[in-house]
Amino acid sequence: MTRWKELPAGLDDAERQLVAQLRRLKDRAGLSLAALAAKTSYSSSSWERYLNGKKPVPRGAAEELAEVCGAPAERLLVLHEVAETARAQRPARAAEDDPAPRRTRRSWWTARTVPAVAGAAVLVAFGAGFLVGAARHGDGGRPAGSAQSAALGASAYHSGRSYDCDRVRRANGALTAGYSTSRDVLLDRGSTGWDVVEAQCLLRRHGFSVGRVDGVYGERTGQAARAFQKRHGLVPDGIVGPDTWRELRK
């Protein structure tokens, strides 16, 4: 397995998640940079820059790597859209980035939360609606919507605070802890907010210890997610996406 260099500290979280997923696919396929260059339209030096966070990953490179590794491209394309949007919202870096193969429409995009951006990315990638929670409060001031609800005026999420999971219940046939209605938001190392609190409570309900329920996706949460995915026959990559949400809410 490749001994990867640490990614640049200034790399956006969205770009970091995309590069991490590309690295996992390459390692699982057992491909060297030279082999990647031989099987794709990108040189080994380009792959070295992309996979070490030195240059933004082109959409085409993400698609080709997924094809070469025999993996579904959908997750990578969602991550790419999120990363591309994050870069577009940092004009100071725009001159350093590679020309993007496609330009996203930004007039209605919001930079308030990564989950909100991911929702817009799904609209672009798949032409389908994305589930966002209604902005409302539950009993005792607990938000009953998704992370987007908190951004739009519901109770604010506070990093470092512990949250209880004593209201996990079944509503409309699905488990909910009352913090988020998400079924699609991608969560990985570094993610924070109500969606993470929801996932932590549901993992705990299914018998997997996440340690402190604080809305921070750390190592304990990642371990619990991987163990949960393995038990349910999912790819144990620790990324909570649509398939993992579906099982968590059963």
pLDDT tens-digit series, residues 178-208: 999 988 889 998 889 999 999 999 999 999 9
Cα–Cα dist 213/44, whole Å:
42
The CATH homologous superfamily to which domain 139-248 belongs is PGBD-like superfamily/PGBD (1.10.101.10)
What does the pLDDT average to over 202-217?
A: 93
Q: What is the mean pLDDT of residues 159-171?
A: 88
What pLDDT was estimated at residue 107? Answer: 40
Residue with token string 């820059």:
49
The pTM for the full model equals: 0.45
Average pLDDT over the chain, rounded to whole?
Answer: 76
- Both tokens assigned to 209: 């210890």
Closest CA to 113 of 133, 93, 142: 133
Q: Is 131 exposed, middle or buried (0-12, 13-18, 19+ CB in 10 A)?
A: middle
Position 116 scores a pLDDT of 47
Mean pLDDT of 159-183: 90
Q: What average pLDDT score do residues 65-94 get?
A: 77
Q: Where are the domains of the chain?
A: 1-128, 139-248
CATH homologous superfamily of 1-128: lambda repressor-like DNA-binding domains (1.10.260.40)
Distance set, CA 150 to CA 55, 76, 165, 193 (Å): 33, 27, 18, 9
pLDDT by residue (tens digit) across 128-148?
Answer: 333 333 333 333 334 444 444
pLDDT grade for 155, boundaries at 50, 70 and 90:
low
pLDDT of 94 over the 90 cut: no
- Average pLDDT score over residue span 25-51: 88
